[in-house]
């Protein structure tokens, strides 16, 4: 386990419900990195968070080289009508030449091959004509080539000493390619967070179990495990905890001693069988609970010792929205990364809302479409129930409606948060 990571103060914001932006500000203030650095081979670094800056130890490319298959020559030998060059040498990729290119001469060169000394320009092979005269091969290059054409300069992509990536950056496939191009084999990254996944509820059953009237299958576990898969965490399933105060308290107590984060679903509201927040109050400190957000009002955040507790609602839609908006950025910061902000785009509404409740931020499931004239609009999933997984499956993202908006008319600009911006493909 790692050391403390939340401010050691009580749940004392003094409000019945926090607004969305207030909740984000609280999380940003009270969460910090907890993991330590480790060095891993580059092939194991995907989705890990850098612990140190990556600086290029050499130029990329290392030397001037050809971008095409063609003929290399001195541009100063070029005249107004083109060039007539004696073929002096042949250079393939991986076989650099030390032979100085003689005046009015050319080198047959292939893509990626190092430029011969003295050459500064390359003509593409399909633009040239070759012929043989008196036992000597010649190349005719047409007019119009600028100096340096088709030549990739040393350091053109990355100059030696350039900071390629900064600490805190989560490594993507293209980042690994950039690091590999410098010859760097190992990178310093933050260790993975240990995350416990806990489902609560007497009604829950796992797929494959027999089900009776009143039971439901535990979809949230698979939802959250999938959402965690794109983060630098090691997620462990602690199973289903039944609705018993002593059992819930024992489960949280045990998990908090072994994990950096305990991620729960269900049992976080105000009902008599909702025991998560009560157990947290007895065992540790609750920093956030009850948000002026739909869906996701009973989103909980606190700590037990050094362990962060993130209590998500039990309904799948609310669980996913709460994870994306609040749990995901918290986990990222704790793992050494940035507080992840979603991408936002202003898109005309292809739907209407007649009377939205004031003083509450709402997130609808939405999908991109066109208005029939080729212009983009975002449409709202027809049913708002937070237990309807179909809406999550059919949606492209979330439509965010701020607290002060009461109505939405077709054509009004609304904020769209694509799932792709959360790393969901």
| 392 and 267 together in one domain | no
Q: Can you give the CATH number for the domain in which 50 is found?
A: 3.90.105.10
Rounded-to-integer distance, Cα 418 and Cα 345, Å: 8
- Residue 342 per-residue DSSP state: P
- Do both 205 and 147 map to the same domain? no
Q: Is 403 helix (H, G, I), strand (E, B) or coil?
A: coil
416: β partners: 345, 399
d(CA 108, CA 64): 15
- Which has more pLDDT, 174 or 384? 174
Reply yes or no on whether the pLDDT at 398 is more than 80.
Answer: yes
H helical segments located in 213-286: 219-228, 245-256, 276-283
120 and 180 in a single domain? The answer is no
β 307-312/361-370 pair status: unpaired
Whether residues 217 and 279 share a domain: the answer is yes
pLDDT at 8 over 70: no
**Per-residue pLDDT reduced to its tens digit, 44-92:** 999 999 999 999 999 999 999 999 999 999 999 987 556 899 999 999 9
Are residues 371 and 243 part of one domain?
A: no
Q: Is the domain of 169 the same as that of 241?
A: no
* Ramachandran bin of 89, using left for φ above 0, alpha for ψ from -120 to 50, beta for the remaining angles: beta
**Any idea which residue has 């207030």 for tokens?**
22
End residue of a domain, out of 168, 189, 210? 189
Share of the chain above pLDDT 70, in %: 95
- Residue 33's pLDDT band, with cuts at 50, 70 and 90, is very high
The whole-angstrom separation of Cα 128 and Cα 126 is: 6
For residues 353 and 418, state if they share a domain: yes
Average pLDDT, the chain: 93
Of 28, 26, 51, residue with least CA distance to 38: 51
Cross-strand partners of 54: 165
- Coil, strand or helix: which one is 22? helix
Q: Work out the burial of residue 300: count CB atoms within 10 Å of its CB; fewer than 13 is exposed, 13-18 middle, 19 or more buried.
A: buried
Farthest-apart Cα atoms in the chain, separation: 101
pLDDT, tens only, 136-184: 999 999 888 999 999 999 999 999 999 999 999 999 999 999 999 999 9
Residue 14 belongs to some domain of the structure: no
Q: What is the pLDDT of residues 107-129, one digit of tens each?
A: 999 999 999 999 999 999 999 99
The predicted pLDDT at position 280 comes to 94
Total of domains in the chain: 4
**174 & 132 share domain:** no
Q: Examine the domain organization and report whether 249 and 324 are in the same domain.
A: yes
- CA–centroid distance for 80 within its chain: 52
Average pLDDT over residues 194-210: 96
As a dihedral over the C-alpha atoms of residue 206, residue 298, residue 320, residue 44, rounded to 10 degrees, the angle is: -90
Statement to judge: residues 227 and 283 lie in one domain? yes
Is residue 308 located within the same domain as residue 199?
A: yes
Looking at residue 5, its pLDDT comes to 47
Q: Is the pLDDT of residue 11 over 70?
A: no
CB neighbours of residue 269 within 10 Å: 17
pLDDT of 385 higher than 70: yes
Q: Count of residues for the chain?
A: 425
Domain limits for position 307: 20-35+192-334
Residue with tokens 């535990």: 218
Look at residue 142 and give its three-state secondary structure: coil
Arithmetic mean of pLDDT, 207-230? 95
CATH classification of the domain holding 396: 2.40.340.10
- Angstrom distance (rounded) from CA 121 to CA 147: 6
CATH code for position 108: 2.170.190.11
**In terms of domains, do 278 and 373 share one?**
no
> Quick check: helix, strand or coil at residue 110?
coil
In the structure, what pLDDT confidence band is assigned to residue 384 with cuts at 50, 70 and 90?
A: confident
Residue 104 lies in a domain: yes
- Among 98, 125, 152, residue at a domain's last position: 152
Tell me the pTM.
0.87
Q: Which residues pair with 170 in a beta bridge?
A: 49
């Amino acid at each position: 386990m790692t050391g403390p990571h939340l401010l050691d103060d009580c749940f004392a914001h003094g409000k019945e419900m926090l607004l969305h932006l207030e909740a984000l500000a609280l999380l940003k203030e009270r969460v910090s990195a907890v993991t330590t650095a480790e060095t891993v081979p580059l092939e194991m670094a995907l989705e890990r968070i850098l612990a140190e800056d990556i600086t290029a130890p050499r130029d990329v490319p290392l030397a001037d080289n050809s971008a095409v298959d063609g003929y290399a020559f001195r541009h100063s030998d070029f005249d107004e009508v083109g060039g007539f060059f004696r073929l002096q040498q042949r250079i393939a990729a991986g076989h650099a030449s030390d032979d100085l290119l003689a005046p009015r001469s050319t080198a047959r060169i292939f893509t990626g091959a190092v430029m011969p000394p003295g050459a500064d320009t390359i003509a593409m092979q399909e633009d040239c004509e070759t012929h043989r005269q008196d036992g000597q091969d010649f190349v005719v290059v047409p007019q119009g080539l600028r100096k340096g054409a088709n030549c990739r300069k040393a350091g053109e992509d990355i100059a030696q000493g350039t900071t390629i990536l900064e600490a805190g950056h989560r490594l993507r496939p293209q980042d690994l390619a950039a690091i590999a191009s410098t010859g760097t084999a190992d990178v310093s990254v933050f260790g993975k967070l240990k995350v416990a996944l806990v489902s609560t509820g007497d009604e829950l059953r796992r797929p494959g179990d027999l089900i009776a009237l009143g039971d439901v299958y535990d979809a949230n576990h698979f939802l959250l495990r999938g959402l965690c898969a794109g983060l630098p965490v090691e997620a462990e399933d602690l199973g289903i905890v039944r609705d018993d105060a002593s059992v819930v308290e024992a489960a949280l107590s045990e998990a908090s001693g072994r994990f950096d984060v305990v991620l729960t679903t269900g049992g976080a509201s105000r009902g008599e069988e909702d025991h998560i927040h009560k157990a947290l109050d007895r065992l540790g400190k609750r920093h956030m609970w009850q948000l002026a957000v739909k869906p996701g009002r009973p989103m909980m955040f606190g700590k037990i010792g050094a362990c962060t507790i993130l209590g998500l609602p039990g309904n799948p839609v609310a669980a996913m929205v709460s994870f994306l908006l609040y749990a995901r950025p918290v986990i990222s910061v704790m793992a050494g990364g940035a507080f992840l902000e979603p991408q936002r785009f202003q898109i005309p509404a292809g739907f209407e809302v007649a009377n939205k409740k004031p003083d509450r931020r709402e997130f609808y499931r939405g999908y991109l479409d066109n208005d029939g004239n080729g212009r983009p609009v975002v449409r709202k999933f027809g049913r708002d129930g937070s237990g309807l997984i179909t809406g999550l499956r059919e949606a492209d993202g979330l439509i965010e409606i701020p607290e002060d908006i009461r109505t939405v008319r077709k054509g009004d600009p609304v904020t769209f948060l694509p799932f792709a911006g959360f790393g969901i493909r």
